[in-house]
Amino acid sequence: MAPVVDVPSSNFKRGNDGISLTKTEYHPGKHSYVKYWWSYHDRSPEKFLVVFFDVKLKVAYVAGKVRTKQYGNYKGHDKVYIDVIKGYPGKYTLRLVNVNNIDDVYAESKPFWVKEGDL
């Protein structure tokens, strides 16, 4: 199994939205996925989309919809599989975005590389 790649995460991109990626880990291999943690506050939106964003092509791949406050302790965690990328290796970020507008980015990880063998 390939080693886990710890991907630095962003802080609050816009303080009033109140969703922050606190940690992301890329787990490459046969069933590659990204594990991520977020924090929120009382003004945070109820839901967000998780998106893989191709840095070079500027294409977003929606990986899932998440209830922000599902854990009730101002923190949450989940994982998404990279199969939504559909065979396109490259440089990606993980974004947490508005459910009504994927260009409205709440938080974004630093870039990480998805290799052909990970897909």
Please determine, for residue 1, whether its predicted confidence score (pLDDT) is greater than 50: no
Residue 92: give the domain boundaries.
5-112
Is position 118 within any domain?
no
Residue with tokens 């929606």: 62
CB neighbour burial string for 55-68, b if at least 16 within 10 angstroms, e if fewer? eeeeebbebeebeb
CATH number at residue 83: 2.60.40
Residue pair 59/92 in contact (Cβ under 8 Å)? The answer is no
Of the listed ranges 11-20, 50-59, 80-89, 99-108, the least confidently predicted one is 11-20
Q: For the chain, what is the domain count?
A: 1
Residue 27 lies in a domain: yes
Please report whether residue 81 resides in a domain: yes
Residues 6+ apart with CB under 8 A from 83: 119
Average pLDDT over residues 51-60: 96
According to the model, what pLDDT value does residue 12 have? 44
Residue 13 has pLDDT above 80, yes or no: no
16 vs 87, higher pLDDT: 87
Domain assignment present for 53: yes
